[in-house]
Amino acid sequence: MKNVFVFLSLFVLSISLFSQEKQQDSLKVEQLDEVLVKAVRVNSEAPVTHSNLSKEEISKRNLGQDIPILMSYMPNVVSTSDAGAGVGYTGIRVRGSDATRVNVTINGIPYNDSESMGTFWVNLPDFSSSTESLQLQRGVGTSTNGAGAFGASLNLLTDAISEKASAEINSAVGSYNTFKNNIKFSTGKLFSGTEQGRSAEFSGRLSKITSDGYIDRATSDLKAYFLQGSYVDDNTLIKALAFGGFERTYQAWAGITATQLQENRRQNPFTYENQVDNYNQDHYQLHWNQKINENWSSTVAVHYTYGRGYFEQYKENEAFSDYGLSEISIGGEIINTTDLIRRRWLDNDFYGTTFSVSYNNNSNFDLIFGGAWNRYKGDHFGEIIWARYASDSEIEQRYYDTYGDKTDFNLFSKATYHISDKIRLFTDIQIRTVNYTATGDFDFVDESFFFFNPKAGITYNINNSHNLYFSYARANREPNRTDYENGNPTPETLNDFELGWRIKNEKISVNSNLYFMSYKNQLVLTGAIDDVGAPIRENIGDSYRLGLEIDAKFKISEQFSVQPNIAISGNKNLDFSTSRNGEIVALGNTNIAFSPNLVFGNILEYQPTKNVQLAFLSKYVGEQFMGNIDTNNSKLKSYFINGFNVNYELKPSKIVKSIVFSLLVNNVFNVEYVSNGYYFTFDDTWTTPGETTTLDGAGFYPQATRNFLVGATFKF
């Protein structure tokens, strides 16, 4: 790996020194780039609640932590990390909805795992370094490709075409032996100035991130690559991308008990030296954007993702019968259990196409018609690689061999009509079909779903600085594989109402909105996890989320700005019932698990000179329950953490155009807090809401106390 880094460093430096720099019409290229995500994004006046994060904003704290951690200060977002320090397995919740309910696309291509619906950023280390921008739509949002959005949709746009040749070398070091190194290059636009503005560009990135983690032995060894080739002329943009990563992480998903949290919050119950995940994931995308004429344009993409890997576990006193083995007799003693080491494998393929056609008459009517067809085929199998008592097993014998096969097809049509200078109407209609067949720890699944998802909204421009909007969106969503493993789930339905008021001028930007999300048969987290760390969910009857969100940016002076956001909400299960001592007990209205009623964030920035930026970062998350029965020992306490970020830029010479030094101090006041956990009950042990049991049925994921990352970016 070191030799590759050295070679590419020399290569990108030579590009920077010897390529000719030419002035180009960057706006045209940028517009063509944005077509990649036009079908799934919205503009600033759309009646959709959303926030954007630009490349510049991402880069300030991009020192090795994953995308969910970099999004921590966005409105109504709660981020967490299994290893405690933001490297490795990380997760995100939006409006209390976990990652399986946040639809993620990369250049409009679905990224959520088709079966679990989760997003595993650990498989794409340092992807933030190749992200041009991201948009987070809270609530249902607009129609997109892939799984339905029940909490939010997140769209990432990868690096835009660079006008000029460039190179970067980035290095960072920090607490818990965290190291990040990457190199990036771009050839800039080659052959420009030819007929019809034809040109090409090649760019890429290699990354390596390692960390010991805050939690004992929660190590991460992550490698990643990103390659992009582009062709552009006056009317065409063609992009071919290959990116992916390899991760080897020591498992920390078991959390620790309340007692262990008091004894030593950094301990890890796993002790087997090879209790690790090993996973590779490679993505290939080909995009063709075509401007047909002044009014019409189109885009079509094909994609393929190949994932494969396993996690290894040491298990004690496992029953032979669970592994299809026969009991044995040793010295007259019957042996039917054994200690063993197992590997649980995933080997999957995901491929398909997305497409859209856009019409814009540059006056009062915009239309987008699009859709996607995608198929997932995944093998799940387990191997015994060692056993204290092998019974009649063979080397690497498979003790289960199952599969999942899922086809997802959708069509949508979005239209925006300007009734007048002040009133704009928005409509969005989607149909989606899903076919899923699978075998596993459940009866054979063969399900087909048809979903109709209408959306509509109106924006009223009071004047150039103020507008109001109202929208309604309906979403339907199928169960995931874990849901089938834990019961007989049914699809869930969400009706989302959003009422917003936006203010924007040179010094002030304020976005405020009320939302009401009404669910039928919502698959809520029970708080428990299964034997591989996947969260267990169950259908409930009716539930809702009602909240107020406000985010703003105030430019106090040329040097000072402040960016606060706050979310106040009520999140309730209606007439909730559960089992106790073999009987169904009605608990009335209870809180939805992992849904804090108050989330607050703030970024205070000070720029004393053009090349120095300082920021003080704050995040408050109110108390939340890890289950749905409101018992005290299922509570996660509220926490308030703060960070400090410094960026200082030097421009020393023509060869090294810029050196940016960055410092990030997280949790500066050394708060001991827990951002995530799980909770389970037994019929005869839990108590009524508000009481506390002696049962230690909760697990916790402690987050790092004061820690730092410091880095340098050399731009050529």
27 has a pLDDT exceeding 70: no
Q: Using an 8 Å Cβ cutoff, are 465 and 505 in contact?
A: yes
Max mean pLDDT among 209-223, 534-548, 576-590, 693-707 falls in 209-223
Dihedral, 1, 271, 311, 709 alpha carbons, nearest 10:
-40
What pLDDT was estimated at residue 643?
97
- Strand (E) or helix (H) holding 67: helix 67-70
Q: Judge whether 72 lies within some domain.
A: no
- Band (pLDDT 50/70/90 cuts) for residue 285 is very high
**Separation of first and last alpha carbons in the chain:** 22
Block residue for tokens 């560009």? 201
When pLDDT is cut at 50, 70 and 90, the band that residue 18 belongs to is very low
Nearest to 139 by CA among 147, 127, 150, 128: 150
pLDDT band at 693 (very low <50, low <70, confident <90, very high): very low
pLDDT over 80 at 17, yes or no: no
Instruction: Give the C-alpha distances (Å, rounded to integers) separating 487 from 2, 427, 539.
Output: 49, 37, 9
- Identify the residue with better confidence: 586 or 382: 382
State the pLDDT at residue 194.
62
**682 or 576, higher pLDDT:** 576
To which H or E segment does residue 280 belong? Answer: strand 276-291
Q: For residue 40, which phi and psi values (nearest 5 degrees)?
A: -120, 0
| pLDDT at position 209 | 98
The answer to whether the beta carbons of residues 176 and 45 sit under 8 Å apart is no
Q: CA distances (Å), 169 to each of 67, 94, 207, 708, in order?
A: 20, 33, 10, 20
pLDDT band at 59, cuts 50/70/90? very high
Going by pLDDT thresholds of 50, 70 and 90, the confidence category of residue 207 is: very high
Kindly state whether residue 632 falls inside one of the protein's structural domains.
yes
Residues with Cβ within 8 Å of 464's Cβ and at least 6 positions away in sequence, in order, are: none
- The span from the CA of 503 to the CA of 519, in Å, is 30
For 100-131, write each residue's pLDDT tens digit: 999 999 999 999 999 999 999 999 999 999 99
**Which residues pair with residue 171 across a beta bridge?**
181, 712
Does 312 map to a domain?
Answer: yes
pLDDT at 456 exceeding the cut of 70: yes
Reported as a pLDDT band with limits 50, 70 and 90, residue 427 is very high
Answer whether residue 644 shows pLDDT above 50: yes
Is the residue at 15 inside a domain?
Answer: yes
Evaluate whether 89 touches 253 at the Cβ level (below 8 Å): yes
For 199-213, 644-658, 673-687, which range has the lowest pLDDT when averaged over its residues?
673-687
Determine, yes or no, domain membership for 672: yes
Q: Is the pLDDT of residue 31 over 80?
A: no
Mean pLDDT in residue range 680-696: 50
Do residues 702 and 268 make contact, with C-beta atoms less than 8 angstroms apart? no
- Check pLDDT > 90 for residue 301: yes
- The pLDDT score that the predictor gives to residue 613 is 96
Work out the pLDDT band at 203, boundaries 50, 70, 90.
very high
CA 382, 374, 156: angle at the middle one, nearest 5?
95
- Flag whether 213 is in a domain: yes
What is d(CA 463, CA 641) in angstroms, rounded to the nearest whole number?
38
Q: Is it the case that residue 4 has pLDDT exceeding 70?
A: no
Lowest-pLDDT choice from 85-94, 146-155, 185-194, 251-260: 185-194
Domains identified in the chain, total number: 1
- Going by pLDDT thresholds of 50, 70 and 90, the confidence category of residue 575 is confident
Range of the domain at 557: 2-29+165-715
For 70-91, how does the pLDDT look when each residue is reduced to its tens digit (9 = 90+)? Answer: 999 999 999 999 999 999 999 9
Question: Distance between CA 75 and CA 48 in Å, rounded?
Answer: 14
Residue 224 dihedral angles phi and psi, to the nearest 5°: -150, 160
Can you give the pLDDT at residue 697? 76
Instruction: Summarize pLDDT for 485-502 with one digit per residue, the tens.
Output: 888 899 999 999 999 999
Name which residue leads in pLDDT, 414 or 363.
414
Place of tokens 């874990």: 482
- How many residues are given for the chain? 716
Give a yes or no: residue 709 inside a domain.
yes
- pLDDT surpassing 90 at residue 39: no
pLDDT of residue 24 exceeding 50: no
Backbone angles phi, psi at 610, to 5 degrees: -60, -30
Rounded Cα gap, residues 145 and 150, in angstroms = 13
Coil, strand, or helix at residue 56?
A: helix
Region 191-198 average pLDDT: 70
Q: How far apart are CA 405 and CA 508, in angstroms?
A: 50
Q: What is the dihedral of CA 287, 288, 294, 295, to 10 degrees?
A: -70
- Indicate whether 684 pLDDT > 60: no
Q: Whose CA is closest to 80, among 455, 596, 552, 461? A: 596
Band (694; pLDDT cuts 50, 70, 90): very low
In a 13 Å sphere around the CA of 153, the CA atoms on its Cβ side amount to 25
Average pLDDT, the chain: 89
User: Is 42 within the bounds of a domain?
Assistant: no
Pairing mode of beta strands 612-621, 598-609: antiparallel
Mean pLDDT for 672-677 is 96
Contact present, 503 and 482 (Cβ < 8 Å): no
- Min mean pLDDT across 133-147, 387-401, 462-476, 517-531 is at 517-531
Q: Which residues of 5-43 are buried (b: 16+ CB within 10 A; e: fewer)?
A: beebbeebbebbeebeeeebeeeebeebbbbbbbbbbbe
Q: What is the largest CA-CA distance in the chain?
A: 91
Query: How many C-beta atoms lie closer than 10 Å to residue 219's C-beta?
Result: 20
Share of the chain above pLDDT 70, in %: 91
Per the CB < 8 A criterion, the answer to whether 131 and 55 are in contact is: yes
Residue 12 has pLDDT above 80, yes or no: no
To which residue do tokens 């990135």 refer? Answer: 205
Question: Are the CB atoms for 464 and 476 separated by under 8 Å?
Answer: no
CATH for 536? 2.40.170.20
Residue-level pLDDT at 195: 65
User: CB 688: neighbour CB atoms within 10 A?
Assistant: 11
